[in-house]
Structure formats: structure tokens, C-alpha cells
Amino acid sequence: MAEAETASTEPQARHIVYCGEWLEKNNPDMHEKLYSEEALQASLSTLSIDARKRAEKDSAKKEAKAAAAEARDAERRAEAMVYIKRVERNKRKYVTAVSGLEAHGLDLKKVAKDWGKKFATGSSVTKTASGTDEIVVQGDNSDDIFDIVVDVLKVPEDNVECIEDKKKKAAG
């Protein structure tokens, strides 16, 4: 009876399947062992002819789908505009709002944090009235942000537009 209890508490071996991309990045030796050309040919040779044809057809479909998705993403990025808006708050106080960066595959929170450090100001991600996210940076940093967006973040210059938004004076 004591032997049965100890046997059930011992850890059991597990078979874990990893994503190929993750494995390639984190354990290249294991990735090479599982996904090398020789390993793939060896596993394909054990398949029947019909199964091999299906596998080739499936892989061709996956490649075509991936290429189409990449082309769509590239087209979407090429058309996506980034708007840098300088908004006047009080007298000589400004904030700079940047919207449209998420379409270029950028993490807005990380970019906002980096800009906050670079300009030594407050910088945050906020929701606009239309429901999209934008980065708001305290101060008039629109020219510097334009340069960073084009040079560092690699957004085409034609896709970046600077807007100046003046506060309306009260009628009186």
C-alpha cells in the first residue's frame, strides 16, 4: 500500500509540443532537430502517398494564406496615416496628441513610456471621442515627435501629418 501511494505522487513525463517560431527563438538546437529539412523529409517519407499529397497541398495553402496576409498588412500600413496634433491648452501651454500609430504595429504604451522619458514629461495612452487610442505628450514636442516617427519608427513621411489645433477664444 505504501508503494502505491509513492508511485502516484511521482511526477509523470509529459509530451509537450512547442510552436515552431517560439522554439526557434528560445531553443534553436531543438528547433533544428524537429524542423530541419532532414527531419521533415524523414517524417514525410513515413506518410502514405495520399497523405503526402494532402500535406503538400495544405502547406501550399498555408504559404499562400500567409503571403496574402502579409500583403494585406503591408497595404494597410502603407495607407495608414499618423496624425500629430499640437493642441493649445492655456495661453502658452500645449500638449501633443499622436494617433494612428497602432496601424503600424507599434505598442502604444511602450512608445508613450519612451517618449515620456525622452522629453522628460508626462506621456500617456488615452481614448479619443471616436474610440481610438492616441498618445498624449505634455508640451509642444510635435517637431521632435515627427522626426522620431519618421526616422526611428520607420513610418513613411507621406503617411505623417502635423495638425495645429488652436483653442477658440471665448466671445466676450
Q: Evaluate if pTM is beyond 0.75.
A: no
Distances (CA, A) of 26 to 14, 21, 34, 55, 82: 19, 9, 14, 27, 34
Q: What is the pLDDT of residue 15?
A: 64
**Three-state SS at 35:** helix
Q: What is the pLDDT of residue 113?
A: 93
Q: What is the pLDDT along the chain (172 residues), one digit of tens a residue?
A: 555 555 556 777 776 666 777 777 888 888 787 777 787 777 777 767 777 788 888 888 888 888 888 888 777 777 778 889 988 888 788 899 998 888 877 888 999 999 999 999 999 999 888 888 899 999 988 889 988 888 888 888 888 888 877 655 555 4
Q: What is the pLDDT of residue 66?
A: 87
Q: What is the pLDDT of residue 172?
A: 46
Q: How far apart are CA 144 and CA 121, in angstroms?
A: 13
Q: What is the pLDDT of residue 18?
A: 62
Q: Where are the alpha helices (DSSP H) in 80-156?
A: 108-119, 142-151
Q: Where are the alpha helices (DSSP H) in the chain?
A: 2-9, 20-26, 28-35, 37-45, 49-79, 108-119, 142-151
